[in-house]
Amino acid sequence: MFPVDAFQNTLRKASECFDRLEIRFHLTGGITSILYGEPRMTQDIDLVIDPVATARQVDELISSIQEAGFVCDEKSIHLAIETAGMFQLFDRTELLKLDIYPRELIPGELDRSEQCEVFQKVIYPIASRQDTILSKLIWISKGSHKSRRDLRQLWRNSSSNEKTFVRKYAQQVQQEALLDQVLMEQDELE
């Protein structure tokens, strides 16, 4: 596990690049599960970034992240933008990897970002609880096993409005049966 300072330094450098170019972003993935109260290990940082703003200034973004000390593959960045895929950045100072998604997995998720104190007195936008649950559901449908426990824990701590939002979206994408299946599963013993 990486020290907290390494995560903090890497995230600060990345957010400065996005902020300078006015590219909206939020944290997602394992770190949001942790922030919403599900203790778990994570080895990287996942971020969703605004696909439109990113496509408009991709060359400036590449220059900015390289100047900040990240290693990146320019072809992968262009491909991720074209295909709504993912690209990676590697912080050569902290030796941490960032998975960057220039797309919204859940339509409108960047508009529902919540501000959260991620590190002491350091606030970043994070995916809302309901969008975090939905992204876990989508990853489960693609074969992710570790997302199952995260989803159950997040669900337990959700408000009735958040649960209603999740159910409606799960119905729209025909994943309500999977949601019910995962919610019925027992958590494994630690």
Walk me through the domains of the chain, giving residue ranges and CATH numbers: 4-127 (3.30.460), 130-184 (no CATH)
Reduce the secondary structure of 48-85 to three states and give it as a string: EECHHHHHHCHHHHHHHHHHCCEECCHHHHHHHHHHCC
What is the rounded distance in angstroms from the CA atom of residue 58 to the CA atom of residue 30?
A: 26
pLDDT at 142: 92
pLDDT at 39: 67
| Structure tokens, 101 | 């998604």
Give the CA dihedral 42, 87, 150, 146, nearest 10 degrees.
Answer: -80
> pLDDT tens digits for the chain (190 residues)?
445 788 899 999 999 999 999 999 999 988 888 888 776 666 788 999 999 999 999 999 999 999 999 999 999 999 999 999 999 999 999 999 999 999 999 999 999 999 999 888 999 999 999 999 999 999 999 998 888 988 999 999 999 999 999 999 999 999 999 999 999 998 765 5
Give the neighbor-by-neighbor strand order of the sheet with 114-119. Answer: 70-71, 87-91, 96-101, 44-49, 25-28, 122-126, 114-119
Specify the residue for token string 């203790």: 39
| Structure tokens, 95 | 């030796």
Q: Are 65 and 17 in contact, with CB atoms under 8 Å apart?
A: yes
